[in-house]
Structure 1
Amino acid sequence: MRNATSNADYAEAPADVVTKSPAGSQTLLRGLDVIEAVVDGPIPLAQLAERLGLTRSTTHRLATALIDRQYLTFTPRTGYHFGPKLLELGFRAQQQTDVVQVARAHLEALAAATEDTVHLGVRDGDRALYLDKIPGRRRVEISSRVGDRHPLTSTGLGKALLLDEPPARWGALFDADHEAGAQRVDFARWEDRMRGYVEQGRSYDLEENEDLIRCVAAPIRGADGRIVAAISVSSAAQYMADERMAALSAEVRGTADAVSHDLGWSGRAGPPGK
């Protein structure tokens, strides 16, 4: 059921203005400005008008039209806030967003620029599930395939998926991966590297998952800022000296951020708990 505005608010504009449907591109853009101005929570009419730089009468007219279409609701003494239509559209948009489709052009560009193999993957329980792979131009054989599930703690892509995970959880995941057959490495050294990866916003695979193969990876974030996927650039160790991996880091992070923005991430909010 829609919330109604108070009588005082409706007194801001004549009755014929309240019921009139806004028209024209300028009104449309102003209506979108109203929606964006409400993003931080309930806001009263006077404050909303001030934020938009509009009169209270014009602001009220725009907000009322949005209430009629359920894009906004109004609660007395608190103000305007998002309505059920926005929740519905947000849910549908999320359902329709295919990370593979959204990321594909970005991955192709990254593969062309680096000449190395590029992967896209998501977390599937306690494993990294590979959803896409673009082979590089170098004569390097990477054994991964789309549909493969790899350890989180020994692949660069898997570590990127863990960058927001509480460090207290790292040990259990590390032990589970090694019990399942991952290469044995020193946990203290691995943990120290992971803390550095968190600070840098990217991760490395230093021949931990496959002999003579190294990679640089970075997380992809959804609209809410949470990690939803990750990408990696992989190649033979001979092409992945420490200096090149450091140089690739900005490019890989930049590509991951571009995909994140296409998924609705604003870049303003950090990961949960940060």
Structure 2
Amino acid sequence: MSRTPNPTRTLASQTLFRGLDVVDAVADGCQSVQEIADRTGVAFSTTHRLASALVQARYLQFEPRRGYRLGTRLLELGFAAYRDSDIARSARQNIEQLAGETRDTVHLAMLDGDEIIYLDKIDAQRPIGVNSRIGGRKPVCCTGVGKALILDEGEASWRTRYQYDAERGNIHLPLETWLAGMHAYAQGGYAFDLEENAPGIRCVAVPIRDASGKTVAAVSVTGTTDSTDEARLRSLIPTVRGAAQAISAKLGGTLG
């Protein structure tokens, strides 16, 4: 026999998700109650009430001339999540070594739904501007780590992911060109970003696997076109693969 839904639980769930939407809107740059309400579709009065509660709980901060911004509680939780990440802890020594060896920016990332999220980053020892940060998100289909993370998914899934990113303007390569690249990357066990995410930036990425053989993260080396042509990217594949293999081994896995 089916049960009647609990209206109190439903209302509580709606309030929770609306509060999270408010936090996301502020993270995306909304500063006023009206901007947050427009972004979330929540009524102005409800948005104001939720934002005020989130300020009290330190998830948001409010300054009269600046408006809303993320609060210190989120910073605390972010560092706690980072400390609790087995992958980030296991990989730290290896990505530091990789950054020292290549002198380029090194990223550690994982898949989170339709995007990738950066778990760690080591800045380059040479002048290079890479628009990324720990906890930041990027599209899947135009980033090296994104492509490395989905190498095992196969063409049907690749097409779905391509459509998602293309509809949002995140990828500009023709579908068949991008798919041909993915098949080559899947066969080689690595992936390139050839200025697809940002002009003048290239990278090579390799997946990291756990004991079940599942891809759980990816590691990449990123450089500028001035110092990193495609020949250098190819020369870096064994180096990045070695770091990925070492991290995988710590997680009980292997790249095969």
2:212 equivalent to 1:224: yes
Specify whether residues 149 and 253 from structure 1 end up closer, same or farther in structure 2 by C-alpha distance, changes over 3 A only: same
> CA–CA distance in 2 between the matches of 1:115 and 1:247?
14
1:214 is matched with which residue: 202, 224, 231? 202
> CA–CA distance in 2 between the matches of 1:266 and 1:153?
24
2:146 equivalent to 1:158: yes
Residue in structure 2 matched with residue 108 of structure 1 by the alignment:
96
1:136 is matched with which residue: 124, 146, 151? 124
Listed one character per residue, the Cα deviations across residues 132-160 of structure 1 (whole Å, up to 9, x for unaligned) are 00001110110111111111110000000
Given that 2:128 and 2:224 are in contact with CA atoms closer than 8 Å, whether structure 1 keeps it comes out as yes
What amino acid is aligned across from residue 229 of structure 1 in structure 2?
A
DSSP-derived class of the 1:189 partner: helix
Residue in structure 1 matched with residue 181 of structure 2 by the alignment:
193
2:192 equivalent to 1:204: yes
Moved >3 Å (runs of 4+): none
CA drift at 1:175: 1.2
Aligned ranges 1:93-104 → 2 under 5 Å? 98-104=86-92
Residue in structure 1 matched with residue 136 of structure 2 by the alignment:
148
1:253 is matched with which residue: 241, 244, 247? 241
Aligned ranges 1:1-274 → 2 under 5 Å? 98-266=86-254
Aligned-pair identity (%)? 43
CA drift at 1:183: 3.4
> Which protein shows a greater Rg?
1
> CA–CA distance in 1 between the matches of 2:255 and 2:180?
27
Listed one character per residue, the Cα deviations across residues 98-137 of structure 1 (whole Å, up to 9, x for unaligned) are 1000000000000000000000010000111111000011
CA drift at 1:266: 4.6
> CA–CA distance in 2 between the matches of 1:130 and 1:110?
16
> CA–CA distance in 2 between the matches of 1:183 and 1:126?
13
Given that 1:220 and 1:259 are in contact with CA atoms closer than 8 Å, whether structure 2 keeps it comes out as yes
> CA–CA distance in 2 between the matches of 1:266 and 1:242?
27
Question: Which ranges of structure 1 fall in alignment gaps of 5 or more residues?
Answer: 1-95, 269-274
Given that 1:97 and 1:263 are in contact with CA atoms closer than 8 Å, whether structure 2 keeps it comes out as no
What amino acid is aligned across from residue 90 of structure 2 in structure 1?
V
CA drift at 1:190: 0.8
What amino acid is aligned across from residue 201 of structure 1 in structure 2?
G
DSSP-derived class of the 1:154 partner: coil
What amino acid is aligned across from residue 180 of structure 2 in structure 1?
D
After TM superposition, the structure 1 stretch with the greater mean CA deviation from structure 2, 183-192 or 110-119, is 183-192
DSSP-derived class of the 1:210 partner: coil
Residue in structure 1 matched with residue 59 of structure 2 by the alignment:
none
Listed one character per residue, the Cα deviations across residues 51-70 of structure 1 (whole Å, up to 9, x for unaligned) are xxxxxxxxxxxxxxxxxxxx
> CA–CA distance in 2 between the matches of 1:206 and 1:145?
20
What amino acid is aligned across from residue 98 of structure 1 in structure 2?
D
> CA–CA distance in 2 between the matches of 1:141 and 1:267?
31
CA drift at 1:251: 0.6
> How many residues are paired up?
173
